[in-house]
Amino acid sequence: MERNSGPLSGVKVIDLSRALAGPYATMMLADAGAEVIKVERPGKGDDSRGWGPPFVGGPGAEESTYFLSVNRSKKSVVLDFKDPKDLQELKELICGADVLVENFRPGVMERIGLGEAELEALNPRLVVLSITGFGEGGPEGHKPGFDQIVQGEAGLMSITGLPDGPPIKVGVPIADILAGMFGAFGVSSALMERERSGRGQRVQTSLLASVVAIHTFQGTRWLVAGEVPERTGNRHPTIAPYGAYECADGVINIAVGSEGIWQRFAPLVGLDPNDERFATNGDRVRGVKELEEAMAPALKSAGVDEWMERLGEAGVPAGRVRTLDQVYASPQLEHLKLIDEVDHPTLGRIRLPGSPLQYGRSGRRAASAPPLLGQHTEEELGRLAGGTESKKTT
């Protein structure tokens, strides 16, 4: 596919965000074909450029693998918002854009003269995405948003971990990622609405709102049933057996998600599927400890490979617990094109996690390497000045 393919080809995004939530949103927009201009601070750039180790590259040219993970297919422009000339150039960039993304604390955009009213005056068709930690206004709207803090505040850690252990965070910055995903969805929806109204609008989301939005059945356990969810480790709180189980040489995930699957699974572990103790899913959830004790001897009698074969033949959903090196060696990832190989200006050929989306008609944009700090400053600002002006790049 061509470099500018994708359903958002022709959409221009000015990205003032840093760290993860905003950059994740703009990476999704870039993957869909949008042109993303990442505006960074002189000298340091995005905070995540300094997050490590690991860093890769030679002395004086080290790159953070954290930064590389969420900034593919973007351009980097350096501007100092305290410099009136640079601020004016930013405003000129905004005038020619379709989308602006920022994740400053509430009030920062107003202080630099880019509040909602000023942005609408500059560009009435502009879609603005604002991502905060705890939302705007209210008793906690002023609080800074860091992923693990929000995972705790939004209840996610209270339902993650072993029953007799401490609350545990998810192994990736899920609050940031979710806010970025919801933000990208909001931008795409607003761009669609603009086709009807001819006007842009402001889209708001937060780390807090995004985590609450994915509570799903755990949220309704409290809101509807009045039951406060607790940590269940690798067990599913409402389906059994469904979890991670020890075999002779490792751990396997098994999901008995229906009564039909139970009828096929029970004989494999020496159980009568009509045993009155375990006859229905409700019975199995209530008696999960007794059920797992009854399953254990059979599961431990054979290794993961043998159990994967037995369960597969019986039509019982199961999977291995892989390390990331095993995941990225998977032929299925290669088939789905989930690894992008790109040429980086200083690192050479590198591999990055790829977009999970495929577009049948408009194509999938070919990824490009995350930018060096200020790599595209002269190119982008030279266009504003008719190609005659040069700018600093660090």
| pLDDT exceeds 50 at position 1 | no
227 is a domain residue: no
391 is a domain residue: no
DSSP helix/strand/coil, 151 = helix
Indicate which CATH number applies to the domain containing 109. Answer: 3.40.50.10540
Helices 84-95 + 377-384 axis angle, to 10: 80
Alpha-carbon distance 118 to 67, whole Å? Answer: 31
Domain ranges, residue 54: 12-214+330-384
224 is a domain residue: no
| pLDDT exceeds 50 at position 6 | yes
Predicted pLDDT at 228: 97
Tokens of 217: 């059945």
| pLDDT exceeds 60 at position 244 | yes
Domain boundary among 269, 297, 320: 320
The backbone torsions φ and ψ at residue 244, rounded to the nearest 5 degrees and listed phi first, read: -105, 130
Domain boundary among 296, 320, 344: 320
357 is a domain residue: yes
Domain boundary among 264, 286, 320: 320
3-state SS of 311-350? HHHHCCCEEECCCHHHHHCCHHHHHCCCEEEEEECCCEEE
37 is a domain residue: yes
- Mean pLDDT across the stretch 139-161? 95
Alpha-carbon distance 196 to 355, whole Å? Answer: 29
Indicate which CATH number applies to the domain containing 315. Answer: 3.30.1540.10
Residue 378 — pLDDT band, cuts 50, 70, 90?
very high
pLDDT digits (tens, 9 = 90+) for 50-70: 999 999 998 988 999 999 999
Q: Are residues 54 and 90 both part of a single domain?
A: yes
Tokens of 224: 């509807």
User: Considering only CA atoms, which of 65, 8, 71 is closest in space to residue 39?
Assistant: 71
Q: How many domains does the chain have?
A: 2
Predicted pLDDT at 3: 45
Q: Are residues 157 and 202 both part of a single domain?
A: yes
Contact 77, 394 (CB under 8 A): no
* Size of the chain, expressed as the number of residues it contains: 394
For the entire predicted model, the pTM comes to 0.92
How far, in Å, are 35, 89, 381 from residue 78 at the CA level?
16, 11, 10
Give the catalytic positions in this structure: 176
Tokens of 116: 């909602």
The mean of the pLDDT values for the chain is 94
pLDDT digits (tens, 9 = 90+) for 364-377: 789 999 999 999 99
Which residues is 127 bridged to in the sheet?
Answer: 99
User: Considering only CA atoms, which of 250, 236, 342, 249 is closest in space to residue 291?
Assistant: 236
Tokens of 110: 């107003």
Which residues are within 8 A (CB) of 66 and not within 5 positions of it... i.e. 6 or more apart? 48, 51, 52
192 is a domain residue: yes
